[in-house]
């Protein structure tokens, strides 16, 4: 059963907040923020702690990087 708290992605995403965006800090979460009426962002652990709203449907997901399968 999917609890909507995590999602698999095939390539790295980087935190949308400065200075992480410039430094290319890997995002650990994709979720709604407490900023700008709940806009969504990729966030590192630190920025998720500051601005994240939670995990689950309509709130956000933990990102899990999986390699693409090749034939």
Q: Percentage helix, strand, coil, to 5, in the chain? A: 15, 30, 50
Q: What are phi and psi of 13, to 5 degrees?
A: -120, 155
The domain spans of the chain are 6-65
Spatial distance between the Cα atoms of 48 and 54, rounded to a whole number of angstroms: 9
How does pLDDT run across 56-70, given as a tens digit for each residue?
Answer: 999 999 999 998 776
* pTM to 2 decimal places: 0.87
How does pLDDT run across 10-59, given as a tens digit for each residue?
Answer: 999 999 999 999 999 999 999 999 998 889 999 999 999 999 999 999 99
pLDDT in the model for residue 37: 87
pLDDT in the model for residue 1: 52
């Amino acid at each position: 059963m999917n609890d909507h708290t995590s999602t698999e992605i095939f390539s790295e995403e980087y935190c949308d907040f400065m200075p992480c965006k410039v430094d290319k800090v890997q995002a650990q979460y994709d979720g709604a923020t407490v900023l700008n009426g709940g806009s969504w962002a990729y966030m590192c652990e630190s920025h998720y702690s500051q601005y994240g709203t939670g995990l689950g449907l309509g709130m956000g997901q933990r990102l899990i990087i999986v390699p693409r399968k090749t034939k």
